[in-house]
């Protein structure tokens, strides 16, 4: 019995043709769920051989789930809705199909969709992550803007007054004299910092002269603090100046002296 199938043969079952075969089904295009019941309407006919859902090792993993869920779905629909044929063309169908009485007042029983719940939960967590990332980016942008303001103020304090054009843009004087003054101011600033470092190292190596050296360090700090005090006069925020002092290795508490 059966058919000989050569090796490596691919078999495609035409399920649509099976479902619409008039030799198997009486009027297959007509919706008639009673075709699967016996004449008394109580016993379900075994129709697995006529309606293949899947075959062999290639069977669908959702087949058992669908078979269990489909019954609950149909019962819920029948219980909550009045289903009738268009224009009452099939009174027999209406009479048999609506033998199940619906819930009073037409109320519906709803079930929470677990898939939607999981999706919303994922989006909520994603929203929290995005909000944190945005806050961090805004803080970085503010920090960059603050650093730019500090650099601009330092350049203005070193270059002196600058000219502005009609559009309000700053014009820097690139003359040799201003360049010489700028290099001189930068060298003096570096000399102050280097002097402070040398004094601190000398104080560590000579404890007996620490008191005398600390006075010199304080004087160096006073000279170095003039730069930060000038930044405050130019309108730079105090927190920004203190952060710049930390970046330069200067104690921010000296600003209160």
The 10s digit of each residue's pLDDT in 9-25 is 887 777 788 778 888 77
Mean pLDDT of the region 114-124: 56
The confidence band for 108, taking pLDDT boundaries of 50, 70 and 90, is low
Residues 98 and 82 sit within 8 Å (Cβ to Cβ): yes
pLDDT at 147 over 70: yes
Spans of all domains in the chain: 15-111, 120-162+173-256
At residue 155, the pLDDT reads 77
DSSP string, 238-252: HHHHHHHHHHHT--G
pLDDT at 197 over 60: no
Mean pLDDT of the region 38-59: 64
Query: What percent of the chain has pLDDT above 90?
Result: 0
| Helix, strand or coil, per DSSP, at residue 170 | strand
- The larger pLDDT score, comparing residue 112 to residue 30, is at 30
The chain-wide mean pLDDT, for the chain, equals 66
pLDDT at 143 over 80: yes
pLDDT at 129 over 80: no
pLDDT at 53 over 70: no
| Helix, strand or coil, per DSSP, at residue 44 | strand
The confidence band for 49, taking pLDDT boundaries of 50, 70 and 90, is low
The confidence band for 117, taking pLDDT boundaries of 50, 70 and 90, is low
The pTM is what?
0.23
Q: Which residues make up each annotated binding site? A: 60
Q: Which two tokens stand for residue 115?
A: 């898939």
Task: Please report, for residues 45, 167, 217, 233, the alpha-carbon distance to residue 223 in angstroms, rounded to integers and kept in the order given.
Answer: 102, 37, 10, 16
Q: Which residues make up each annotated binding site for heme? A: 60
């Amino acid at each position: 019995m059966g058919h000989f199938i050569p090796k490596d043969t691919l078999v495609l079952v035409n399920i649509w043709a099976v479902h619409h075969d008039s030799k198997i089904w009486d009027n297959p295009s007509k919706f008639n769920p009673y075709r699967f019941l016996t004449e008394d309407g109580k016993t379900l006919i075994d129709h697995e051989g006529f309606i293949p859902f899947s075959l062999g090792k290639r069977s669908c993993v959702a087949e058992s789930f669908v078979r269990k869920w489909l019954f609950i779905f149909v019962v819920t629909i029948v219980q909550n809705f009045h289903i009738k044929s268009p224009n009452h063309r099939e009174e027999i169908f209406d009479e048999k199909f609506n033998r199940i009485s619906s819930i009073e007042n037409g109320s519906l029983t709803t079930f929470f969709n677990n898939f939607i719940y999981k999706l919303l939960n994922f989006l909520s967590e994603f929203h929290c992550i995005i909000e944190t990332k945005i806050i961090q980016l805004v803080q970085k942008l503010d920090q960059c803007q603050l650093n730019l303001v500090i650099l601009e103020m330092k350049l203005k304090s070193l270059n002196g007054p600058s000219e502005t054009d009609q559009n309000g843009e700053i014009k820097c004087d690139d003359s040799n004299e201003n360049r010489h003054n700028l290099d001189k101011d930068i060298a003096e600033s570096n000399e102050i910092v280097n002097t402070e470092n040398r004094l601190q190292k000398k104080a560590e190596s000579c404890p007996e002269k620490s008191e005398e050296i600390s006075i010199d360090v304080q004087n160096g700090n006073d000279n170095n603090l003039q730069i930060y005090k000038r930044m405050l006069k130019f309108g730079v925020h105090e927190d920004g100046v203190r952060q710049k002092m930390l970046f330069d290795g200067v104690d921010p508490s000296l600003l209160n002296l």
